[in-house]
Amino acid sequence: MKTPRIPICLPLVAVIGLLSACGPTPTTMKLEPLETKYLRTPGQTVKLAYEVFDAEGQPMSDPKLRWTSSAPDVAQVQEGLLTVRKSGKTTIGATGGKVRAALPLELTILNSLDVRAPGADFLEVGRVIKLRVVARNEQGSSLQDAMPTFRSSDEMVARVEDGQLVAVRPGKATLSATLGHLSRHIAVQVVPADFARLGLNLTHHAFQRRGQSVQLQARAFNRSGVVLDTVPLEFFTSDSAVVSVSPEGRVTAVGSGRAVVSVVAGRRRSAAEFVVP
């Protein structure tokens, strides 16, 4: 009676296949920080950057990793793709073999940015004003540590130092503040430090009829009486139904009555009275 031969080829094939499927095993892993913690909207996705190396120190192109988030209500992660749900903190974990890496995140969905520089439209040289910044997330909460990146279109006119706007020399500049995806812009006008007073060519004028006009000339002077051409002037009428005034100071009679036209430069003001029959 012959003893039946037990085929061994199938088990050998199975073992060989198992060995080939194992491949390199991750030994070190690194998760890169996000470029910015500020996001645009809930549901925004961010591709996480990471590196995985095998035992020989070679980078693994397609490692099999298991991803977790300590706060799924803040952010979820799948195959290295982060989906942000709301502002908050979470820790992203990645596991490959016996290696694990963690990335703590503080995510902010930036909803609004308000930047103010009171008096920036008329700053004397050398004056310094504190910038006011209010940023809020999608829940309306104020972000206490939010500090935009400031840039001046001309730092020879005005620049930002330690959250303060510094007037350097007469001229105009635009101050830009950027936080995440939001930007705000502020027009800055710097005038000579020795600006002292305003002068007008008229203090009182009576029109003969409606439709007539006259030029109200205003000049800025320093303490020595020298005319300053770099001081911006604004004109206002107390009653537009009586007289109107152009941005250049041209006053026109509109209707019967009395009105005062004021010229303003920063905190200084001068005025003239007009009468229309």
- Tens digits of per-residue pLDDT, 39-61? 999 999 999 999 999 988 899 98
| Burial status of residue 260 (CB atoms within 10 A of its CB: 0-12, 13-18, 19 or more) | middle
102/151 same-domain check: no
Question: Could you give the C-alpha distances from 215 to 16, 83, 88, 140, 245, in angstroms and in order?
Answer: 99, 63, 61, 50, 9
223 found inside a domain: yes
Helix (H, G, I), strand (E, B) or coil at 176: strand
Number of domains in the chain: 3
Could you tell me the end-to-end alpha-carbon distance of the chain, in angstroms, rounded to an integer? 140
49 found inside a domain: yes
**Model pTM score:** 0.74
Among candidate residues 191, 226, 247, the one where a domain is terminated? 191
CATH number, domain containing residue 264: 2.60.40.1080
140 found inside a domain: yes
33/83 same-domain check: yes
Q: What confidence category does residue 23 fall into, taking pLDDT thresholds of 50, 70 and 90?
A: low
9 found inside a domain: no
151/211 same-domain check: no
Please write the tens of the pLDDT for every residue from 56-93: 889 998 889 999 999 999 999 999 999 999 999 999 99
105/34 same-domain check: yes
Cβ distance 270 to 199 under 8 Å?
yes
Q: Whole domain around residue 241: which residue ranges?
A: 195-276
100 found inside a domain: yes
152 found inside a domain: yes
Does the pLDDT of residue 138 top 50, yes or no?
yes
178/202 same-domain check: no
Mean of the per-residue pLDDT values for the chain? 91
* Residue where the block lists tokens 């920063």: 266
69/105 same-domain check: yes
62 found inside a domain: yes
184/205 same-domain check: no
182/200 same-domain check: no
Q: What is the pLDDT of residue 21?
A: 46
185/121 same-domain check: yes
19 found inside a domain: no
Among candidate residues 90, 109, 128, the one where a domain is terminated? 109
Q: What is the pLDDT of residue 266?
A: 86
Q: How many CB atoms lie within 10 A of CB 170?
A: 19
* Residue where the block lists tokens 């977790």: 68
159/202 same-domain check: no
Among candidate residues 57, 77, 109, the one where a domain is terminated? 109
148/206 same-domain check: no
Does the pLDDT of residue 16 top 90, yes or no?
no
